[in-house]
Structure 1
Amino acid sequence: MKAETLNQIYGKNEIQQAQRYQFLSTKFQSKFNEKPEVYVRSPGRVNLIGEHIDYSGFPVLPMALDRDVVIALSEIKLSSSKSTFVVVSNLLEKYKDLTFLHSSVETDSSEAHGWHSYFFCAYKALIRQIKISTPKSFNAMIDGVVPTGAGVSSSAALCCASVLAISAINDISLSQEQLINISIEAEHMVGVKCGGMDQSISVMGQENSAVMIHFYPKLKGLPTPIPSKIVLQQLNNFDSPVFVVANTLKVSDKHETAATNYNLRVVETALAGAILFKKLNLVIEDGLIQKNNLLTLRQVMDIVAFGEVKNGNMKSYDFEVDGKECLNLMLSIVEQHLKSQPYTREEVALELGISVRDLVKKFIDDQYLTVKADKFELYKRAKHVYSETLRVLKFDQICTGKEVLPIPNEILYALGNLMNESQSSCRDLFNCSCDELDELVKLNLSFGAFGSRLTGAGWGGCTVSLVGESMVDEFVKNLKDSYFTKEKLQAAGMTLDELNDVVFYCKPGTGSRIVNYS
């Protein structure tokens, strides 16, 4: 996870990024009276397709952005204090510094939330999983250019960069899987029950390729090359794909709304899996499910497809090959066994044969999870999860040439159609869209996007649109002139100079790196 040059990370933007790193270095020296010893970076991400299915155990298809969080650090070698302490600063002066003692981390029970919570929880999660015998005191300064509250995962970029930074300054080498898992735990500690997609792509990102990230039965990332101009020209299609990210300007704060939005969906999908398992009289041996003995919708599907599980082992199969058949089977089962109307707590408890109190204890109460709901939409959530996973498989197979299209040169139309179907499902079945997202998607399509959908958790944030490279400049200009009025920008506390952070086009970038810069 080390990059010897900025070019290995940023390519043609190397010169611009070198200026940014130099500015960060200068500010660091001004504040701490010494040069940084270590630089790390982790990118934001845009999810091309596969929304809200990672925490149900299904693969997703995001790509890393070239917009990232960079952290500069130096060890505090001379200190009058015998206690290890950490000072964290942000390049943006509106954010206050954070100073804490190493000894206070395990005893801290504060629920205060702010930008520094992500760094503090990253430190706490790291020392919980990797025992540091002699932790170092250090100074850190953060520079983030991933838009916040926009659905492009600024929080995961900050968590991953923080874990990598803390480990690097303490001379700890982490595997990709360790970095991902510790970063996930850190965000859980902040109060968001994320599923792992954001952290995984921030770490695993690959240039020129989306990454199909599998979470079950084990974490792995498989590249899904975005069709290149050369490949498309061979099919008589002379336009290559570009993805345009556009911010609705409606802030999507997963922490603030988690109890009624994000965390609630996590609980609803778990409840849907539990009821399907019960109604189908499925059998599973104790020990397969480690945490709270809960099944994901993916695990329910696997048990349906391959019968009883013995000794925690599932029959091995190729998800990419057999997945479509299994997913279609589960969609028919959802139609048969889940009622389309919302379930009350009492109805869910009755279906599961447990008390309401036990229902809350098993499915809702969690150290880091808060949920506020008396009714649960189980049919809609399960239907979205299984149908969205089908779209992920189709998207991947079109990109990799495994799915033959009736008209080969219409690859971009086929991919765009899957994105449009995903948006409809997010809006109607998962209820994670909003008026602003719906309006922006409609505009994106009217200006010539092949497909457009929300990206990220939803309820605000960004859209991602598939656009032909030959028309991308005109597309972006039309969006800026129509949706992003001066009045909307002012209401969001932004200026016209910041418009390039609101609408921008991108191609897949690299993941987390320790950066060799001096």
Structure 2
Amino acid sequence: MAAQRPIPVYTNLTDLYNNLGTSLNHSVRWNDLAEEFRKRFGRKPAYIARAPGRVNLIGEHIDYALFGVLPAAIERDILIACGPRSVPASLPTQETHHSPGSVIAENLHTKYTRQEFAPARKQSSSKEVGEGEIHVEGWHLDINTQELRWESYVKAGYYGVLNHYFSSSASSNADAAESPIPVDLLVTGSVPAGSGLSSSAAMVVASTLAFLAVNGKLDEKLKSLTADDVHHLTKGELVKMSMENEKRVGVNSGGMDQAASVISDASSALYISFFPALKATPVPLPAGSVFVCANSLVVADKAVGAKRGYNLRVVETLVGARVLAGALGVTVGERERITLREVVGRLLGEGKGEELDVGELQRGLERMGKEVEVLRPKDVPDGGELGVTMREMIELSGLEKDVFGEVYLSWVEVEATHFQLYKRAKHVYAEALRVLQFRQTCLDVAASSGSSTALESLGRLMNESQTSCAELFQCSCPELNELTQLARNAGAYGSRLTGAGWGGCTVSLVAEDKVQSFIDQIRDTYAPYKGLEGEALSEVIFATRPSSGACVYKFD
């Protein structure tokens, strides 16, 4: 199983490059990064950690409802060169970079300034946590979630390593607990920030790997994140750790981004399911076509807009699941946050720890497309308000106000006058069904010679997904709507937003022999692209093939 494999650690660049894809000159970037690290820090790096961005082919905003998704890692990535820094005992510890576990972080992009920070060991306390700060048991490291900076994602990755390897609870003698070593980092990235290609998850995964590698933890047994047994760090464990880490910057991620960045291989997309446990299986993509990513150039900042965007959708889908379960007679614990995936499972008699087979789940999703209508408010005229107020939502949940607040609002900030339980649930069930249909079409093509009919079917599913994202989940924007329509006009089989939405990128399924003419037409018809040529154009629109997942290169 892919999630149970160890993190690849390469000592041979040829083997590494052969697993990254073919369209980028990887060797130049890696060699330039290592040389720049040597110039800045006076020695070569000990490691380079890599984590790719990802493109979600279909399955938007359903991972945190525990439904499967179908992303692929892309060749564009985050690279972090790193190495331990010697700090003589005689140096004054009041200097940040002389402290145990201190970090000097630099970025090749000139707009990002050098940062120095150090974690501080902290005794357990009942002291209230201040706004904009995140704490881990035994450690203190500031992350301002109100104004994210590039180093916030580096710090987020560091937290996971501190929490799982250096917390006082990891040692029977807290005074003798091991301390992390000082680290120098140099970061570069080719995943556009705010593009919907998961640059933030790639940054968190890469920084987590960098701190693990420098502290010698990739080869050390890790206490399981879910049990008391111990085992070597696996890709699945890294996904879970990275999910926890990204939440420290204020985003409640469902896990798709991290799983795609870590588990992918260079030959396929991934069908990633999250229930009852994380599982990833390869899905071969049809020959004769490629996916083209196009940046709308609208920056989507999930953290800044979370209260009215991403985090609000998480709450709406969770509350919608409780209300739907009640309407269908499905038992839910008073303080349980049941998901839409668990509703369909319990309705169909799925036992604890069991998993419906794909055929059963598909039939269940077809049924839920009808059952979800019980969430639609009664007597609302066409075009009328389908949302409910906070008071109405609490009443529908069947919970007391204080219990509702504890279960659904105590861990996240949201802001809305009306909550769209019906629209969100309708999208989630329809989108989950499209994922299974997309997956099955790809498998059918792989088992046969393939045909343009199959590509048209995939494109139709992508177009339906875009319509649902725009109208039901309301996570699109005018620029994404325009760009997807222009893509269809330019000959794409299908086109949709990818990532959280509200800006960022589209992904289009395009015939392999039409890629250049497709890109040229988009350049000529999408106003923000006009006049772009060469590298400037390739930065905003590019074809991609699946890439391998996160890895580490170890220098001699």
C-alpha distance in 2 between matches for 1:423 and 1:64:
20
1:322 alignment partner, one of 342, 356, 360: 360
C-alpha distance in 2 between matches for 1:150 and 1:434:
13
- Cα offset for 1:496? 6.9
C-alpha distance in 2 between matches for 1:262 and 1:419:
21
1:278 corresponds to 2:326:
yes
Equivalence for 2:181 = 136
Give secondary structure in 2 for the equivalent of 1:135. Answer: coil
Question: Structure 1 residues 66, 156: CA separation in 2 closer, same or farther (over 3 Å shift)?
Answer: same
Question: Structure 1 residues 354, 477: CA separation in 2 closer, same or farther (over 3 Å shift)?
Answer: same
Query: Per-residue CA shift, 1:192-219, capped at 9, x if unaligned?
Result: 1111100000001111200000111000
- Cα offset for 1:393? 0.2
- Cα offset for 1:110? 4.5
Equivalence for 2:283 = 224
1:124 corresponds to 2:159:
yes
2:141 alignment partner, one of 104, 108, 114: 108
Q: TM-score, structure 2 length as denominator?
A: 0.84
1:26 corresponds to 2:35:
yes
Equivalence for 2:109 = 92
Query: Per-residue CA shift, 1:12-67, capped at 9, x if unaligned?
Result: 457x2211112112221121111111111000000000000000000000000000
1:509 corresponds to 2:547:
yes
Query: Per-residue CA shift, 1:162-187, capped at 9, x if unaligned?
Result: 11111011111221112111111111
Alignment-mate amino acid for residue 391 of structure 2: E
- Cα offset for 1:402? 8.2
8 Å CA contact retained: 2:99, 2:118 = no
Match runs of 1:33-72 below 5 Å: 33-72=42-81
Query: Per-residue CA shift, 1:86-115, capped at 9, x if unaligned?
Result: 111111121122212232672235425211
Give secondary structure in 2 for the equivalent of 1:346. Answer: helix
Equivalence for 1:172 = 217
1:429 alignment partner, one of 463, 472, 475: 472
Give secondary structure in 2 for the equivalent of 1:505. Answer: strand
1:439 corresponds to 2:482:
yes
C-alpha distance in 1 between matches for 2:99 and 2:206:
27
Question: Structure 1 residues 402, 97: CA separation in 2 closer, same or farther (over 3 Å shift)?
Answer: same
Alignment-mate amino acid for residue 212 of structure 1: Y
Give secondary structure in 2 for the equivalent of 1:73. Answer: strand
Question: Structure 1 residues 12, 426: CA separation in 2 closer, same or farther (over 3 Å shift)?
Answer: closer
C-alpha distance in 2 between matches for 1:488 and 1:363:
48
1:384 alignment partner, one of 427, 432, 440: 427
**What are structure 1's unaligned runs of at least 5 residues?**
229-239, 287-291, 490-494
Question: Structure 1 residues 65, 110: CA separation in 2 closer, same or farther (over 3 Å shift)?
Answer: closer
1:350 corresponds to 2:409:
no
8 Å CA contact retained: 2:77, 2:202 = yes
Question: Structure 1 residues 443, 337: CA separation in 2 closer, same or farther (over 3 Å shift)?
Answer: closer
1:7 alignment partner, one of 12, 17, 21: 17
C-alpha distance in 2 between matches for 1:496 and 1:483:
16
Alignment-mate amino acid for residue 158 of structure 2: Y
Alignment-mate amino acid for residue 439 of structure 1: E
C-alpha distance in 1 between matches for 2:283 and 2:430:
20
- Cα offset for 1:314? 4.7
Query: Per-residue CA shift, 1:209-240, capped at 9, x if unaligned?
Result: 00000111000101000023xxxxxxxxxxx0
Query: Per-residue CA shift, 1:442-497, capped at 9, x if unaligned?
Result: 100001000000000011111100000011111111111221546797xxxxx974
8 Å CA contact retained: 1:398, 1:404 = no
Equivalence for 2:348 = 305
Alignment-mate amino acid for residue 483 of structure 1: Y
C-alpha distance in 1 between matches for 2:269 and 2:447:
20
Give secondary structure in 1 for the equivalent of 2:140. Answer: coil
Give secondary structure in 2 for the equivalent of 1:139. Answer: strand
Question: Structure 1 residues 379, 41: CA separation in 2 closer, same or farther (over 3 Å shift)?
Answer: same
1:241 corresponds to 2:264:
no
Query: Which moved further from structure 2: 478-487 or 274-283?
Result: 478-487
Question: Structure 1 residues 74, 397: CA separation in 2 closer, same or farther (over 3 Å shift)?
Answer: same
1:187 alignment partner, one of 229, 232, 246: 246
C-alpha distance in 1 between matches for 2:310 and 2:259:
18
Equivalence for 1:500 = 538
- Paired positions, count: 488
- Cα offset for 1:408? 5.4
Query: Which moved further from structure 2: 495-504 or 36-45?
Result: 495-504
8 Å CA contact retained: 1:345, 1:356 = no
Alignment-mate amino acid for residue 253 of structure 2: C
Match runs of 1:356-371 below 5 Å: 356-366=401-411, 369-371=412-414
Question: Structure 1 residues 517, 421: CA separation in 2 closer, same or farther (over 3 Å shift)?
Answer: farther
Question: Structure 1 residues 275, 166: CA separation in 2 closer, same or farther (over 3 Å shift)?
Answer: same
Structure 1 or 2: more helix by fraction? 1
Equivalence for 2:339 = 296
1:252 corresponds to 2:300:
yes
8 Å CA contact retained: 1:83, 1:101 = yes
Alignment-mate amino acid for residue 371 of structure 1: V
C-alpha distance in 2 between matches for 1:125 and 1:347:
39
8 Å CA contact retained: 2:143, 2:155 = no
C-alpha distance in 2 between matches for 1:416 and 1:316:
29
C-alpha distance in 2 between matches for 1:109 and 1:469:
47
Alignment-mate amino acid for residue 29 of structure 1: R
Identity of matched residues, %: 38
Give secondary structure in 1 for the equivalent of 2:348. Answer: helix
8 Å CA contact retained: 1:306, 1:315 = no
C-alpha distance in 2 between matches for 1:247 and 1:144:
16
- Cα offset for 1:2? 2.1
C-alpha distance in 2 between matches for 1:8 and 1:486:
32
Equivalence for 2:372 = 334
- Cα offset for 1:336? 2.8
Question: Structure 1 residues 109, 83: CA separation in 2 closer, same or farther (over 3 Å shift)?
Answer: closer
